[in-house]
Structure 1
Amino acid sequence: MMKLDGAISPENTLFVLLCFEGPDVYSTAGGLGTRVSELSEALATQGYTTHLIYIGDPYKPAIEHRLDGRLILKRWSQWVSKYYPNGVYDGEEQKLYDYNESVPYHIFSEIVRPAVAEGKTVVILGEDWHTAEVMCRTSDLLHWFGVRQKVLMLWNLNSLMSLQRIDWGRLNFVTTLCTVSKYMKHKMWSLGVNPLVIPNGIPSRHLNPVDPEAVQRLRNIARRGDPNRFFLFKIGRFDPDKRWIMAIEAVARLKDAGHPVTLFVRGGIEPHGADVFRHAYHRGLHIQDVVAQRPNLQQCLDAIEQAGPADIYNLRFFLPEEFVRTTYAAADATLANSGHEPFGLVALEVMAAQGIAVTGSTGEDYAVSFENAIVTETDDPDEIVGYLLYLRRHPEKQEQMRQASQVTARQFLWDRVIDNMVGKLEFLARKQNIVLSSVGMMDVVADAPVQDQVAQEISVAANTASTKRGSTV
């Protein structure tokens, strides 16, 4: 075994990210798509060759190279997706079958085998329950061909969905389990596993200054000539876990107490949205729908300004990032008051824009109440009401929190998160007896070289799997 004289670096390590969601509009259904898109881009920007294998748009190229070839997007199961045009989770089970059957062979023959021949380490990171089985099968295949010890395999949990479908004993044996917050780590203890915590991150562009003129114009629009009118924002899926009813009730109670409110709402298409607006209507809040066709920032402002007076503006259009960040900065608070939040990416984005986030008390490890955010610890709407009135009476505290919030957000830039992850990977490499060299040379104790015959065996196996997949749809 060679003497350790290096560490993980772009010269000796490449990454493979496995996820159902990805950067295509077809492939994005929530925060998971944002996470893997930004993480893969950040890794490639740091110089790491990064493969992202996801359920991609069936009408885009199967393989796309970005960032001078370092980021390789691989749109998987496109032949299945053509039968299911309504996004990544349309035809979910058929796509999952194809993904599990074919991805392991591709990883071995097209990624791991050539990387090992070049003396490089491969890090494979699977995301959420959809990739649990494929991670297990990939580990088995790599072990069969004598290269499993040259690969670091991690599986990350972002949500508590479909955990009953996971063979935890098998997954925990073949991968290192990870999650995004201490809250999620404690949730996973009940499953008999103890994951490493590697937090989510945000791209550095989220720290760019927000246009102060746009911020002031948006405040003027929201307050409708009343400087004492509260301006609040809530964005996210219409899910009971997001505590939408709590937020709406807080707005109603503020209004009843003589404190008028303007609330901007951007939800999804989930059925719970009907419950939310029904509650608002019965509480006497005036709701105004706002529609637009893929507007820019100024067009968003124009559309809201022309909508007329209301308590709640239901923004029924795609919100460009520039508008969202302007709203974060302009609002008195953004209500990210979830009762269950694995990490709390929205609140961190609010903080990056020097906004004030109202969070829950679950996965938001970074939030310290009245230091960089407002942290609610109950589902009582009066808690939100009381905290907002406190901030209204202490404007100096608002400014301190806005400054501190961006300092916190800076600690969670993807570059820093990757540094955190690399530190843990080096720990795992030592446990696995992987020896990394600063010049990209690697060896492993008692590990046999891969012979050319392996490529022929894999080619036969891959062709057989492809023939089987042809009859699944």
Structure 2
Amino acid sequence: MRESFSPDNTIFVQLCFEGTDPYSQAGGLGTRVVNMGEALAEQGFETHLFFIGDPDLPHEESRCGGRYVWRRWCQWISRHHPAGVYDGEEGKLADYAGSVPRFVCDRIALPAAAQGKRLVVIAEDWHTAGALCNLSDLLHAHGIRDRAVLMWNANNTMGFHRIDWRRLGFVATITAVSRFMKHIMWPLGVDPVSIPNGIPARMLKKPDPKSVRALQKAFKDRGADLALLKIGRFDPAKRWMMAAEAVGLLKREGVRPLFLVRGGIEPHGGEVMARAAELGLTAHDIVLPGRPSVEQCIEAVRSAPPEADLLHMRFFLPEEFVRLLYLCCHAVFANSGFEPFGLVGLEVMAAGGIAFTGSTGEDYVIPFVNAISCESSDPREMVAYLRWLNENPDAVASIKREAARTATHFTWDAVITNLLNRIDFIASRA
């Protein structure tokens, strides 16, 4: 019988352009890989992450008692491209695909094989596909390809036209973050293994009760009938217009809404704010310097002009404050029209909040049981469900309980158990 993968016999390698540094983050991918790597290391696995790092930080850094090693790659290129991970993208792509495989083979894979250990490589998104293929060739040339499991994961469809699917499918097992993504990829001639995303276990911890009371009082002091929240990039696919129009409908019906938003720097943000004004919503920008405390964030909400229906939080949001908002708001709009997985919705559920999701990649949602799922782009659908929640307080309490319970199945510890079972199967058919 084949030996299972364990910390005693397995080393993990993560390949990803995005990583832990602010320089390395353009979305949620960096958070995903770092949280996964930390969870693997905390379970005892030696884990290595290769990412496009800040050129001014150390090339190598370790965490979790030395079990999790970060290697900042392409720093010599990044030094000439200060705008972030994807600045100078083509040069970084070529350097990464050419140099990372050699380093992994010589410095990690060959020593691991000499010790009787196996290698599991998880590569993320299109930028790493070439590197993974090159690594497979090197391992084969050294006669140790059978000591490694290579996996390539799709978090979204970006860059799919740049991938040699035939070669990638030959050398690696292709995975995806949801059944939705799996089905999208079938026409490409691949049949991915679905392995969900995860959240850190700390997300399950309930916010400080004193802070909960303070934020709820701030909402009450503002006279808000409904406190609503939307966080995400200003991307049309996130259906910001739908959310704004739903809030506008509520106001016209005589409801006093408080719509808290946190977007990005994308141009669509201007269109959203212009539409909100057309709908009769009064907006106010909240700007705080540096990294404010939770107390400062709450006070900023409380003391904003009383006539404001829409508070645009244009400042750094501490994780503790975000989780507080998730719990205290009557609903959190994570209503994307295209969502490969939908991590925000899951984070809302972990905090015990009410998530309004779309109906694409959110595999964790059971509509009206642990969240609210919107099937259309019609803002009247959101308004109808908000009315239903307002009229059914017992349903609200039940959804919140089920949401928190569901989230426990998607912590990284739980996802890694899933992952290890998949890896055992993948290795058995090699």
Q: TM-score, normalised by structure 2?
A: 0.98
Match of 2:240 in 1: 244
Between Structure 1 and Structure 2, whose CA radius of gyration is higher?
1
- Which residue is 2:119 aligned to? 122
Q: Distance in 2 between matches of 1:25 and 1:83?
A: 17
CA displacement 1:276-295 (0-9 Å, x = unmatched): 11100111110000001210
CA distance in 1, matches of 2:156, 2:317: 24
**Match of residue 82 from structure 1:** 79
Matching residue of 1:150: 147
How far apart are the structure 1 equivalents of 2:66 and 2:51? 18
* Equivalent of 1:233 in 225, 229, 233: 229
Aligned length, in residue pairs: 428
Residues 112-134 of structure 1 show CA distances to partners (whole Å, capped at 9, x for unaligned) of: 00000000000011000010111
Structure 2 residue 176 is the aligned partner of structure 1 residue 182:
no
The separation in 1 between residues aligned to 2:304 and 2:105, in whole angstroms, is 56
**Counterpart secondary structure, 1:314:** strand
Q: Which of 301, 307, 312 pairs up with 1:314? A: 312
| C-alpha distance in 1 between matches for 2:217 and 2:380 | 27
* Partner residue of 1:378 out of 371, 376, 379: 376
Cα deviation for residue 225 of structure 1 reads 4.7
Is 1:57 the counterpart of 2:54? The answer is yes
In structure 2, distance between residues paired with 1:31 and 1:92: 18
2:249 paired residue number: 253
Residue in 2 that maps onto 1:329: 327
| Aligned-partner SS, 2:110 | helix
Local SS of the residue matching 1:73? strand
CA shift digits 1:301-343 (9 cap, x unpaired):
1222222221110000110000000000000000000000000
Instruction: Show the counterpart of 1:425.
Output: 423
Contact 1:287 1:311 survives alignment (8 Å) = yes
Tell me, yes or no, if the aligned pair for 2:125 and 2:156 is still in contact at 8 Å: yes
Query: Counterpart of 1:465?
Result: none
> 1 or 2 for the larger relative contact order (CA 8 Å, sep ≥6)?
1
* Structure 2, gaps ≥5 residues long: none
Residue equivalent to 1:167: 164
Retained in 1: the 8 A contact 2:356–2:371?
yes
| SS of 1:68 mapped into structure 2 | helix
- Contact 2:241/2:272, CA 8 A, preserved across alignment: yes
Per-residue CA deviation, residues 129-158 of structure 1 (Å, 9 max, x unaligned), is: 010111111111111121111110000000
C-alpha contact 1:22 1:36 (8 A) present in aligned 2: yes
Moved over 3 A (4+): none
Q: TM-score, normalised by structure 1?
A: 0.89
Which of 190, 204, 207 is the equivalent residue of 2:204? 207
State the Cα deviation string for residues 372-397 of structure 1 (Å, max 9, x = none): 00000000000000000110001111
Q: Counterparts of 1:369 and 1:171 in 2: how far apart (Å)?
A: 36
Q: Which ranges of structure 1 fall in alignment gaps of 5 or more residues? A: 433-473
Matched residues, percent identical? 52
User: Could you say which residue in structure 2 is the equivalent of 1:464?
Assistant: none
Q: Counterpart amino acid of 1:273?
A: G
Shift of 1:222: 2.6
Q: 1:36 aligns with which of 33, 37, 52?
A: 33
CA distance in structure 2 between the partners assigned to 1:427 and 1:331 by the alignment: 43
The answer (yes or no) to whether the contact 1:223–1:262 under 8 Å persists in 2 is: no
Q: Quick check: 1:223–1:231 contact (8 Å CA) kept in 2?
A: no
Residues 213-262 of structure 1 deviation map (CA, whole Å, 9 limit, x = unaligned):
212221222343536x1100000001111000000000000000111110
